[in-house]
């Protein structure tokens, strides 16, 4: 009989299965569950984008594209970055179209990290950086960012964890789940720490369109001297409500992107062709759709933040992404305990902060990709729950 | 701010002034005042539920009636429009560009009711020269809302 234990890669088997999988499997079997757990927009992909995908199919555009992605799409991405960040990336060799931002992150880590190399990862943050680092043989080095610093990475925290083995710093801002953003001066301070070192920055900017209160997103690559040491990852999922199309990109110095492209070329070949045609339409003609969705998110964000604070869960203003990250410390429960009890008592599903790193303890993540009525109902039920456990 | 309030209420008349104030980052009392003014000045004409009557067997039938009208000197189409809209059977009246003049949405209990109403009441108005009646067979979308195959929330429980 085959011994799978001897077949499987230990690095893979040792990756922790998500602690809350079980929890959501339970939620899926319950009736009348009202969820604030989904991390994707509720808007359908704007019609003109869908239409562009359909038309490309009708015309029979169903072959592979260049490994790098369609030239036209890379040109549009280049224009977009110029428009948004005032940075210039050459469509020919500094931009790679990927299968969502996720693939770009994975390929970038694999292109840079050899066994034993260290990757600095701020947490709480999106869950993929640690396992992807481990799969590349790298060593994740965690910075537990603090609520009192608005969940930003500070220069001191960064300085404290840099070693001779540090190769990569991941900056996941605007941040899922905390809603934190990094302002220009925050990024400048980090640059001063790494400017004389051989450390690359992987900036995951998938939520770059989602910043609130008149602030627009600043990329680390915008800081003078940083462009040559930054790979920007972005995509269409959040801004254009295109999660299922799996479209993203990486842009950065040619020396890095060309190596990332090798991995992409052998693992993936090219991003889905239909999605690439749809993405061209998104970048060319859909600023108004993005603006409309942004406005809706902003209204929902205000409703949610006020709602949490009104029922007694301290919730700082999230400045980006589409999540609120209220503290549940006042209940004396752990995050997982809170979420599980809330689910059973009130059929409301939220995500424990610990899903995003140990430093998420004492917080829950609530997505506001839902209608105002839905959010109000969920908050009402959470309020009742808090009363009952007093 | 009034325009923003109107857009929100047009989308969902059940939003409370408190919700609207939070959504717009405004003061609740100010929102209340604005709504009051919008009502008083006739910008907001009412708050009605959007009902899918097709779910109700035999609730009513409706028809679009195209009226061709000879306008009166000095009065234009106003006089006849006022006559038409006075009927309780008439749900909406629009003056149209193009091949005919007034677009009238008529409803009744049965097909015969509507037909009788058009023949006896609308067609006999002095300045009306012709009518064309089109019965509504099915309502797919009304006031921005899809009545059939609405978008379900089919987002998967990806836990990230």
CATH number at residue B71: 3.30.70.920
Q: Token pair of A194, please?
A: 């790494």
Provide the number of CB pairs (under 8 Å) joining chain A to chain B.
Answer: 46
Chain A hits for B12, Cβ within 8 Å:
372-373
Kindly give, in sequence order, each residue whose CB lies less than 8 Å from that of residue A162, ignoring residues fewer than 6 positions away.
A120, A193, A194, A197, A199
One domain, residues B16 and B72: no
For B71, B77, B78, B79, the CA distances from B74, given in Å and listed in that order, are: 9, 9, 10, 10
Do B19 and A27 count as a contact with CB atoms less than 8 A apart? no
Question: Residue A39: its pLDDT value, please?
Answer: 87
The CATH number corresponding to A4-45+288-388 among 3.40.50.300, 3.90.1150.10, 3.30.420.40, 1.10.12.10 equals: 3.90.1150.10
Q: CB-CB: which of A28, A39, A300 is closest to B158?
A: A39
Is pLDDT of B160 > 80? no
Domain A47-286 CATH assignment equals 3.40.640.10? yes
Strand, helix or coil for residue A166:
strand
- Is B156 within a domain? no
One domain, residues B76 and B106: yes
Question: Residue B87: enclosing H or E segment and its boundaries?
Answer: none
- Is B149 within a domain? no
Contact A18, A126 (CB under 8 A): no
The range of the structural domain enclosing residue B17 comes to: 2-40
Is pLDDT of B101 > 80? yes
Question: Residue A20: its pLDDT value, please?
Answer: 64
Nearest Cα of chain B lies from the Cα of A153 at a distance, in angstroms, of: 21
B59-80: per-residue pLDDT in tens?
889 999 999 999 888 888 999 9
- The alpha carbons of chain B give a radius of gyration, in whole angstroms, of 21
Structural domains in chain B (count):
2
Is pLDDT of B135 > 60? yes
Q: What is the mean pLDDT of each run of 10 residues along chain A (390 residues)?
A: 94 81 77 88 96 98 98 98 97 98 98 98 96 97 97 98 98 97 97 97 98 93 97 98 97 98 98 98 97 96 98 96 97 95 94 94 96 96 96
| Other residues' Cβ atoms within 10 Å of the Cβ of residue B27 | 12
Mean model confidence pLDDT for chain B:
92
Phi, psi of A120 (to 5 degrees): -90, 125
Do B155 and A38 count as a contact with CB atoms less than 8 A apart? yes
Work out the average pLDDT over B8-28. Answer: 96
Nearest Cα of chain A lies from the Cα of B11 at a distance, in angstroms, of: 12
One domain, residues B66 and B123: yes
Question: Residue A214: its pLDDT value, please?
Answer: 84
- Is B111 within a domain? yes
- Is B159 within a domain? no
Is pLDDT of B159 > 60? no
Question: Residue A309: its pLDDT value, please?
Answer: 97
Question: Residue B158: its pLDDT value, please?
Answer: 59
Domain with CATH 3.40.640.10 in chain A: 47-286
Residue B156 — pLDDT band, cuts 50, 70, 90? Answer: low
Question: Residue B56: its pLDDT value, please?
Answer: 84
ipTM score: 0.81
Max mean pLDDT range (A222-236, B43-57, B61-75, B145-159): A222-236
Do B22 and A373 count as a contact with CB atoms less than 8 A apart? no
Chain B hits for A306, Cβ within 8 Å:
22
Interface of A with B (CB under 8 A): 18, 20-21, 24, 27-28, 35, 37-40, 42, 44, 126-128, 176, 299-300, 302-303, 306, 351, 355, 372-373, 376
Q: CB-CB: which of B14, B22, B157 is closest to A306?
A: B22
- Is B143 within a domain? no
Do A372 and B19 count as a contact with CB atoms less than 8 A apart? yes
One domain, residues B85 and B27: no
Chain B hits for A28, Cβ within 8 Å:
157
Strand, helix or coil for residue A383:
helix
Q: Token pair of B109, please?
A: 């209990």
Work out the average pLDDT over B87-93. Answer: 96
Is pLDDT of B58 > 80? no
Question: Residue A236: its pLDDT value, please?
Answer: 98
- Tell me the Ramachandran region of residue A321: left when phi exceeds 0, alpha when psi lies from -120 to 50, beta otherwise: left
- Is B151 within a domain? no
Residue B150 — pLDDT band, cuts 50, 70, 90? Answer: confident
Nearest Cα of chain A lies from the Cα of B22 at a distance, in angstroms, of: 6
Contact A326, A363 (CB under 8 A): yes
One domain, residues B86 and B122: yes
Model-level pTM? 0.91
Domain with CATH 3.90.1150.10 in chain A: 4-45+288-388
């Amino acid at each position: 009989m085959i011994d799978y234990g001897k077949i499987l890669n230990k690095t893979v088997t040792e990756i922790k299965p998500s602690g809350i999988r079980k929890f959501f499997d339970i939620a899926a079997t319950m009736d009348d569950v009202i969820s604030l757990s989904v991390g994707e927009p509720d808007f359908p992909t704007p019609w003109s984008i869908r239409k562009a995908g359909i038309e490309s199919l009708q015309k029979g555009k169903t072959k592979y594209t260049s490994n790098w992605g369609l030239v036209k799409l890379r040109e549009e991405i280049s224009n977009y970055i110029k428009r948004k960040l005032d940075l210039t990336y050459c469509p020919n060799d500094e931009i790679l179209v990927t299968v969502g931002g996720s693939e770009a992150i994975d390929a970038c880590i694999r292109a840079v990290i050899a066994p034993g190399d260290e990757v600095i990862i701020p947490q709480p943050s999106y869950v993929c950086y640690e396992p992807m680092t481990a799969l590349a043989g790298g060593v994740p080095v965690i910075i537990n960012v603090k609520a009192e610093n608005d969940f930003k990475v500070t220069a001191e925290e960064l300085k404290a964890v840099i070693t001779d083995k540090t190769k990569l710093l991941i900056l996941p801002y605007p941040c899922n789940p905390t809603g934190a953003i990094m302002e220009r001066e925050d990024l400048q301070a980090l640059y001063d720490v790494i400017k004389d070192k051989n450390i690359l920055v992987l900036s995951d900017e998938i939520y770059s369109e989602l910043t609130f209160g008149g602030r627009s997103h600043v990329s680390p690559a915008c800081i003078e001297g940083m462009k040559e040491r930054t790979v920007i990852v972005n995509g269409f999922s959040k801004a254009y409500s295109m999660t299922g199309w799996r479209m993203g990109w990486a842009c950065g110095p040619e020396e890095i992107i060309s190596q990332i492209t090798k991995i992409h070329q052998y693992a993936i070949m090219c991003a889905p062709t239909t999605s690439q045609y749809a993405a061209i339409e998104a970048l060319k003609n859909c600023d108004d759709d993005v603006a409309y969705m942004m406005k809706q998110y902003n209204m929902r964000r205000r409703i949610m933040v006020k709602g949490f604070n009104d029922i007694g869960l301290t919730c700082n203003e999230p400045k980006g992404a589409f999540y609120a990250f209220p503290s549940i410390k006042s209940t004396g429960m752990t995050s997982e305990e809170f979420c599980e009890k809330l689910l059973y008592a009130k059929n409301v599903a939220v995500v424990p902060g610990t899903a995003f790193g140990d430093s998420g303890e004492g917080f829950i993540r609530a997505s506001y990709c839902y209608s105002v009525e839905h959010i109000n109902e969920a908050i009402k039920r959470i309020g009742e729950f808090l009363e009952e456990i007093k | 701010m009034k325009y923003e309030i109107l857009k929100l209420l047009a989308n969902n008349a059940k939003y409370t002034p408190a919700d609207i104030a939070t959504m717009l980052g405004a003061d609740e009392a100010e929102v209340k005042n604005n709504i009051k003014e919008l009502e008083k000045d006739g910008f907001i004409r009412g708050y009605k539920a959007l009902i899918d009557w097709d779910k109700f067997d035999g609730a009513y039938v409706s028809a679009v009636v195209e009226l061709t009208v000879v306008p009166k000197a000095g009065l234009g189409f106003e006089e006849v429009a006022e006559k038409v809209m006075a009927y309780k059977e008439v749900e909406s009246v629009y003056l149209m560009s193009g091949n005919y003049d007034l677009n009238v949405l008529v409803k009744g209990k049965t097909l015969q009711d509507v037909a009788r109403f058009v023949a006896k009441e609308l067609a006999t108005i002095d300045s009306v020269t012709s009518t064309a009646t089109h019965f509504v067979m099915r309502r797919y979308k009304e006031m921005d809302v899809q009545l059939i195959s609405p978008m379900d929330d089919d987002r998967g429980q990806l836990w990230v």
